[in-house]
Structure 1
């Protein structure tokens, strides 16, 4: 009985760990200067009312450097383009990005330890791969539902996300504020869309991969 409960607990841990690892990976993709360049180069991307294209890109890269922990807030203050509310929000974003990195690494370690634990308990490879398959499929289903909701009401999700992770309320800005000039609504819509697409591709590939591996293991067992 205790053994069954323990295995079910490990199964839940694996299901939770996998999407957290993918979140951390995908956030790193967005926090890449190349993504900014690609996004800003789009023909229909809104132009800034206050900044020229080169200035906006360089300033956005400075913001990126700050929230990734590569520089301190002087890189923002020295420009004299950000008000205290914007700097306060970026400080919160910096903390969240750092926590996401640690969460991804922690989840990866937990996933590996969980697999080794199952192996040490004599759990068959077929069962372990089944746990991983279930985790990938669960992630795929969740992201599919999330994509449907985001299509129906993106603003609801956007506002909800900020209320949860930035309860301080310093995430709302005027249209003339620098952060809005750098990151208009289209930027966030495109970024969310990319995250969803990456998640769908990754979870689909993992689901298929674990399914094929599980099928192979099952066939090998029958031949023995």
Structure 2
């Protein structure tokens, strides 16, 4: 019985983690999203690069984070002058970002394996309670996401800074908007937008799981609501 509860605990905790990290990947590596935001924020004018070069540099950047390119050394025409896009500080910061994503991918992949294993065991031993567990694992992260969304709405800059202080051990992320192309390409408004897109999709996924859990709970326990 205690072992079963342990599997349930892993399932309830790790499924939301798996979903969140997968959602981060899905949004982060969507090149069309970047293109749309470049148009919205007039990034071509701010960086001095044309749309074709912006697209090429972005693809290089995303491929590097995914591990498909070895570096982000790339040249482009900026304000009429052909030059290397990213300076040493930007390159070092993106190495930190890449390392962070690699850790995220590792956590997501391990979590996915554990979730599948735990789900199989739950379906064998406690099939009638699967709806209850889906509802539980949906409700607590919904509450957390609600609080985080409110905090970001109140003062995004403050909590965006906290994020960097928590996940980065240096100050390489403190870039200069007047000269660093990376922050000109990806201003704070972009991160505000992408954070809310990730939050919205993740919350939608949790709501779907909550509904599925409610339906399954009702199906397996027709005469009583178990929670």
The alignment's TM-score, normalised by the length of structure 2, stands at 0.86
C-alpha contact 1:17 1:107 (8 A) present in aligned 2: yes
Alpha-carbon offset, residue 119 of structure 1: 4.3
1:30-49 alignment to 2 at 5 Å? 30-42=28-40, 44-46=41-43, 47-49=45-47
**Residues in 2 aligned to 1:201 and 1:116: alpha-carbon distance in whole angstroms:** 24
Alpha-carbon offset, residue 10 of structure 1: 2.7
The verdict on how the C-alpha distance between 1:199 and 1:214 changes in structure 2, with shifts beyond 3 A counting, is same
> Residue in 1 aligned with 2:218?
215
Q: How many residues align?
A: 214
Alpha-carbon offset, residue 45 of structure 1: 4.6
Alpha-carbon offset, residue 58 of structure 1: 2.0
> Residue in 1 aligned with 2:201?
198
**Residues in 2 aligned to 1:113 and 1:215: alpha-carbon distance in whole angstroms:** 24
Query: Given the alignment of the two structures, is residue 90 of structure 1 paired with residue 94 of structure 2, yes or no?
Result: yes
Alpha-carbon offset, residue 185 of structure 1: 1.2
The verdict on how the C-alpha distance between 1:196 and 1:119 changes in structure 2, with shifts beyond 3 A counting, is closer
> Residue in 1 aligned with 2:17?
20
C-alpha contact 2:131 2:217 (8 A) present in aligned 1: yes
> Residue in 2 aligned with 1:179?
182
C-alpha contact 2:64 2:98 (8 A) present in aligned 1: yes
Query: Given the alignment of the two structures, is residue 53 of structure 1 paired with residue 64 of structure 2, yes or no?
Result: no
| 1:109 paired residue among 101, 113, 117 | 113
Kindly provide the CA deviation profile for residues 87-122 of structure 1, in whole angstroms up to 9, marking residues without a partner as x: 1111111121122222212111111111223345x3
C-alpha contact 1:136 1:203 (8 A) present in aligned 2: yes
Query: Given the alignment of the two structures, is residue 77 of structure 1 paired with residue 73 of structure 2, yes or no?
Result: yes
Q: Please list every run of 5 or more consecutive structure 1 residues that lacks an aligned counterpart in the other structure.
A: none
Kindly provide the CA deviation profile for residues 94-151 of structure 1, in whole angstroms up to 9, marking residues without a partner as x: 121122222212111111111223345x32x222331122101212121111111111
C-alpha contact 1:45 1:186 (8 A) present in aligned 2: no
The verdict on how the C-alpha distance between 1:220 and 1:116 changes in structure 2, with shifts beyond 3 A counting, is farther
CA RMSD in angstroms comes to: 2.1
**Residues in 1 aligned to 2:42 and 2:144: alpha-carbon distance in whole angstroms:** 30
